[in-house]
Every structure is written in C-alpha cells, then in structure tokens.
Amino acid sequence: MTNVPITVAHGDGIGPEIMDATLHILKEAGARLDIETVEIGEKVYLSGNSAGIAPESWESLRRTKVFLKAPITTPQGGGYKSLNVAVRKTLGLYANVRPCVSYHPFVRTKHPVMDVVIVRENEEDTYAGIEYRQTDQVEECLKLISRPGSEKIVRYAFEYAKKFNRKKVTCFIKDNIMKQTDGLFHRVFDEIAPEYPGIEADHWIVDIGAAKMADTP
C-alpha cells in the first residue's frame, strides 16, 4: 500500500498542540501518510507576507489535494483576509460538510439517535467578502447568490444523500426577508429536488429550522 500525500498546517494559538495530538492518533491508527508541512496564518503575515500564505504552500495544496489544518488566526476588523475563506475560494472548495452524529450511550446526549449532516455553501453569500466603505459612517457588505453557485451546492447535497442513503434534504433559507437572493436559492432547490424522487425534500426559514435542529434533530 502506498502512502497518501497530505499537506499539514500546524496553525496558530492552540493549533500546534491539537495537530501534534491528531498526527499521533493517525500514526497509532496505522495511517500511511507522506506529510508536507506548510506555514500559514499569523506567523507568515508577521514575517511580511500580506496574504498570510506563501506561494510554495499553494503548490503543496495543489499537489497533494489533501489539507489537514489546525486553527489559524483571522484578524478582526483589519489585517489579512480569512485564510479559511481564501483556501476555499482558490481551490473551489464550495461545500462545507459537517456530520453531526450521536455516540450514545458512550457520550451522554439529549439526542441519542441524532444523525444529521449539514452541507453549507462556502464561497457565496456574505462569504464572498464583497464589502466597501460607502461613506465615513457607512460600511456596506454585499450578499452574493448566483444560480450556478446555488445549483452546485444543492446538487451536491442531493448527490451526498443519494450516495450515503439519506432519506431527506432540507433547505434552510431566509427568503421571507431576502426575497431575491434567498428566493433564488429556494427556487433552484425546488427545481433540482424532483430529479431525486427517492429523497424527501423540504425547506424551513432558517430561524425555525435552527430551533428544530436544536430541539428535535
């Protein structure tokens, strides 16, 4: 069996401690890895690189196509842009997949049968980072929702459900207020859902949906 090449960033703050433990677990589990270590984040920024990531780090990411990253510092109210967002946009990582699974009875929980996967769009909405100063007293941020971007993430969610035998895909939106942007996302969801007749599709206003997730996931 050949080793799997991966790019590892130890990150900032508690990042190095977390990554050391993670790599130890992977080693003890028998993972066969060829690790390329890169520096990104605060250290790189303070060394004079205004992007917080060096060109050779991008080369490693494109070469290995696997990125194991500890937490990194994102400056608040100034400084370099979020490297998490930069990596997602540059490499086209538009889907953020977050499994939420109960480990009852080993871990005490209010929801012993919880098994939910959250699929979040990574590149658009306010994550697009389109903001500017309108006047000395007004800063504006634009919310970007495109049909191609919406189609990609909606189709990804349904394909994920199909591949892993999930029964339902639920769309969370706020189109009672943002009628054009979230309205477009809602329409795209409704257009694509019939292509997957074996999967139940529904949608919730995000406020209600978040409450239901917390109460009865």
- Residue with tokens 């309108």, as numbered in its chain: 134
CB-neighbour burial class of residue 106 (10 A; exposed 0-12, middle 13-18, buried 19+): exposed
pLDDT in tens, the chain (217 residues): 789 999 999 999 999 999 999 999 999 999 999 999 999 888 888 888 878 888 999 999 999 999 999 998 887 777 777 888 888 888 989 999 999 999 999 999 999 999 999 999 999 998 888 889 999 999 999 999 999 999 999 999 999 999 999 999 999 999 999 999 999 999 999 999 999 999 999 999 999 999 999 998 8
Under 8 Å between Cβ of 4 and 32: yes
| Contact partners, residue 63, CB within 8 Å, separation at least 6 | 5, 7, 36
CB-neighbour burial class of residue 108 (10 A; exposed 0-12, middle 13-18, buried 19+): exposed
CB-neighbour burial class of residue 8 (10 A; exposed 0-12, middle 13-18, buried 19+): buried
pLDDT tens-digit series, residues 190-199: 999 999 999 9
pLDDT tens-digit series, residues 130-145: 889 999 999 999 999 9
Domains of the chain, each with CATH number or no CATH: 1-93 (3.40.50), 94-217 (3.40.718.10)
Would you state the structure tokens that stand for residue 53, as one six-digit string? 């990531």
Would you state the structure tokens that stand for residue 205, as one six-digit string? 């206003």
- Given this model, what pLDDT does residue 119 score? 97
